Structure 1
Amino acid sequence: MPERVLATDAALALITLLKEKHGPLMFHQSGGCCDGSSPMCYPAGDLIIGDQDVLLGHIGDVPFYMHKNQYEYWKHTQLIIDVVDGRGGMFSLEGVEGKRFLTRSRAFTAAENEQIQQQTATN
């Protein structure tokens, strides 16, 4: 089963730093409002996760969520969370580090999509 969300080594290093400074974390892929469509990193529990949010997986042992409406657009892709220099979302923890998380993606292959559909049907 292909993972829905992965992180680069640079992103994992930044996640480790942020966990050391802030404790447990969580991610939510923004839907494009105030901070564009950036992956947002918060202290665990600072953003209320509801029935409309989908847990895509974990990166660096940190849960990664996306609103189900946005998930419908992205469900055929694997998200790859990276980090680049610069300021990102003003509510995301990495901003003060002079870095920002960035979502890259790749389309799942036909075989991967079939695996995902089979897994979804059994859940």
Structure 2
Amino acid sequence: MDQPIDEPRVTATEPALQLIREIQKDYPDILFHQSAGCCDGSSPMCYPTTEYRVGETDVKLGEIGGVPVYISGSQFEVWKHTQLIIDVVPGRGGMFSLDNGREKRFLTRSRLFRQETS
């Protein structure tokens, strides 16, 4: 099942967009990278663009609130039929993520793309 043309690969809830704007007050240029499970689990990690190097095999899923979102190529292959929804829940962010210390953290929810029928 391919991505339907009218559905983005990544979206964000309003609370996630609010937290992005809050973080951008301190760090105007940021990006997200969907973690693959090492160290901080599988959280969406938020970094200053100057402090994270996007890998050659990383895939850009899209943008949320004007902020680019990437995922590793190998993880994309597993999740390519899935839309990622970046949300916010109470708690501590990932150790190196910019949401850490704000008493709320980003969380990835997902849903399968609808299968188009003819």
Residue of structure 1 equivalent to 2:9: 4
Distance 2:116 2:12 in 1: 22
Residue of structure 2 equivalent to 1:37: 42
Distance 1:45 1:28 in 2: 14
Cα deviation for residue 95 of structure 1 reads 1.1
Percent identity, please: 57
Residue of structure 2 equivalent to 1:117: none
**Higher helix fraction (1 or 2):** 1
Residue of structure 1 equivalent to 2:77: 72
- Structure 1 stretches of 5 or more lacking a match? 113-123
Q: Verify: 1:61 aligned to 2:66, yes or no.
A: yes
Q: Verify: 1:85 aligned to 2:90, yes or no.
A: yes
Preserved contact between residue 10 and residue 63 of structure 2 (Cα < 8 Å): yes
Q: Verify: 1:111 aligned to 2:111, yes or no.
A: no
Question: Normalised by the size of structure 1, how large is the TM-score?
Answer: 0.88
- Structure 2 stretches of 5 or more lacking a match? none
**Which runs of at least 4 in structure 1 moved beyond 2 Å after TM superposition?**
none
Cα deviation for residue 45 of structure 1 reads 2.6
> Match for 1:98: what amino acid?
E
Distance 2:62 2:93 in 1: 22
User: What RMSD, in angstroms, separates the aligned Cα atoms of the two structures?
Assistant: 1.1
Question: Normalised by the size of structure 2, how large is the TM-score?
Answer: 0.91
Residue of structure 2 equivalent to 1:14: 19
Summarize deviations over 1:80-115 as a string: whole Å, max 9, x none. 000001012110001111111000001001129xxx
Preserved contact between residue 58 and residue 73 of structure 2 (Cα < 8 Å): yes
